[in-house]
Structure 1
């Protein structure tokens, strides 16, 4: 046994159990090549590891039940410890230690703990299945993760808030969209987490946590269809049923590398769906393939004529709203597929976004204000702030916003015409958990509000940056052309 190794190992263990971050930082080797991994992802470099430790609030309490040391030489050794968690179950910790001039230091570590029976960041209720199919059809064998805004017969709607869930009734029937999926052969895997009342694009629920993003570990999942998107990304379900008011399908699909569609406003039934803003709420879903995305549409959208392939157009002024790495991906994709570059007058876009957010907020207050007003302290800080601002919007201001929304919608429909607009689905890659999100939200909604203002279908196609992070390229077409977009997504590949 190399001298001093055992003492260093137990010093690390004591520091871990007491959450002594300075001591843990000292015992991990400095520099950009130090590694720490677990089921949530790999941290590369001492700075990333230190930031993670500082923000997690301590490790699960445990005791060491076995240790095994494999000595490489006097200055290098592998230590594997079997752990027993206070909450139950066993795990393992593997560390590679190196002797330095300052003593023994960990240069690489991997931690495993027992997986939870249910990841409550993703699921509120889950079954095997929770609801069986009621028919047979094109969705035979598919499973649905249902956003916690849709009525599921025999269950309550939780809307991402535990106080709302406690007050909610047991639903007597399924939401119509869910009913149609069951009739087409799909089963319900479970009910998934959402941002409170779907009033966010982040997925960082203050009560239940942030659903994981397996395509971009340690980054946010995107909301408000956060749980359903994570469930599909992780392979827990094949279809994520959600909603899109201001980007809540397109943003998480972009962040997690999935296909996602926001349907034409009113095209898919919103019966027994808890609303946020009826002027903009739209049914949507995410899948891992464009073919399944289209199959879901066969169940949820009315039949209608299809149009021939349309001219693709990109607008540099819109792409420039996104970060450089995202804009590069979108520009390259547009060029590869022969999209015409076109200059639009976007000088009114800030006013359009403000009108969108004002009307959305006013409608959200009409829907939820009576319940929310005496319970503001039971909301997460971000959603509380939005409802507080919404409570100050009077009818005259809302009416003015509605007039501008109508004007903007007409103008956007005119600009899109019978073509297909290509733009970023989200303005950046998924931010790291804990980063400020206000600026990201504004940039995202400057892009996503266009389809919402005009009631248009919008479909996100997954791509990736040079660094391998997910990015979405969004296709927007005229009203009712959802199926055209779905066919195009398959053709574009």
Structure 2
């Protein structure tokens, strides 16, 4: 940035328990710019110069220096005029899609107060759903933006892997991490896209139905998936191509491939720090790190090889002109007091869906819809690599054409 504004006290009242204690500051953007009327928050894995980065764990906060440079995405948004309204919580080291944190709490899902926000971009989803900010930076590795977008009735994106800078970002699994954002209005979502994403000339001529992925989602999703498929085909004047098996060897095999490759990647990234600092983790997250520590290099190499084959397969059936309709998650947001075993079952089914884009490195946009009972849920569009900006525009057109 050309200017370095002084941080001010945060004037926003945190009604949803989303801001981290060290994240309550206001950093104004450039006086004039395309986003000058907007406020945003940043998930506490993004570096902001002069402010600590906590990554959802006090031991991380205490053992890492305050960054002297910001994430390029933060700088780009500030330079576009948006005002940064502090940093919001994340599941610990972003290793969850549930939305709770034993150190900082579970933020409120204003769109469904008896249900969780989803994670790991839980604080980002909470502040956007509550309209406390216009949009919020998040990340998506295994579903950490698509899932909270679905649970909270928001616009969300998993960006093409490698398209947006991961500099100044605490990694989880670098092979799969993607920075992104959530918004509650389509227009805001598109305005941010115009600042952060390169143009795309993606012009789909085929609509793809991945039947095995649809089957992983609860009944509440099915009529909306069908409606989205049919409306999109009508908008594009395009045929529907039904894939009975997007994953011929089964989506659970794909999920296991993702879990093995990503866990090893995560342990290579954070294992030494975890061993030396023995941080306290929530029970489910601690179990994931214990598993990650046991993955053998040869098993990880085999998983990466399988992942390369999956990437080639998915990119093959999408081609350059295909767009797939998918559920953004497997279920409605779990109740805040849901049984942990039930939650874990939902997580497994959701990862069978979200791993498709993750393994293929492709963009996926989640549209905010509601079930017949009025609970938020997301339907997604999956597109070719680099189609992110055009895919967002297409998703907005689809959303505007559907009853909601």
Q: Same fold (TM over 0.5)?
A: yes
- The runs of at least 4 aligned residues of structure 1 exceeding 6 Å deviation read none
Q: What residue in structure 1 maps to residue 243 of structure 2? A: 343
1:486 aligns with 2:388: no
- RMSD of aligned alpha carbons: 1.7
1:391 aligns with 2:293: yes
Higher RCO (Cα < 8 Å, 6 or more apart)? 2
Q: What residue in structure 2 maps to residue 87 of structure 1? A: none
Q: What residue in structure 1 maps to residue 69 of structure 2? A: 173
CA contact (8 A) 1:319 1:331 kept: no
Q: What residue in structure 2 maps to residue 372 of structure 1? A: 274
Structure 2 length normalisation: TM-score?
0.89
With over 3 angstroms needed to count, the CA separation of the structure-2 counterparts of 1:135 and 1:367, relative to structure 1, is: farther
Q: What residue in structure 1 maps to residue 40 of structure 2? A: 144
> Over residues 84-133 of structure 1, what are the superposed CA-to-partner deviations in whole Å (9 max), with x where a residue is unaligned?
xxxxxxxxxxxxxxxxxxxxxxxxxxxxxxxx954583001455x62111
Q: What residue in structure 2 maps to residue 426 of structure 1? A: 329
Q: What residue in structure 2 maps to residue 328 of structure 1? A: 223
Q: Please list every run of 5 or more consecutive structure 2 residues that lacks an aligned counterpart in the other structure.
A: 1-11, 234-238
Cα distance in 2 for partners of 1:233, 1:223 equals 13
1:454 aligns with 2:360: yes
Q: What residue in structure 2 maps to residue 72 of structure 1? A: none
Deviation at 1:347, TM superposition (A): 3.3
Deviation at 1:442, TM superposition (A): 0.6
Cα distance in 2 for partners of 1:168, 1:117 equals 28
Deviation at 1:177, TM superposition (A): 0.8
Q: Secondary structure at the match of 2:294?
A: coil
1:285 aligns with 2:186: no
CA contact (8 A) 2:16 2:127 kept: no
Structure of higher CA gyration radius: 1
Deviates more, 1:183-192 or 1:315-324: 315-324
Cα distance in 2 for partners of 1:173, 1:332 equals 46
Cα distance in 2 for partners of 1:120, 1:171 equals 27
Structure 1 length normalisation: TM-score?
0.74
Cα distance in 1 for partners of 2:253, 2:202 equals 33
1:396-411 aligned at under 5 Å gives the runs 396-411=298-313
Q: What residue in structure 1 maps to residue 5 of structure 2? A: none
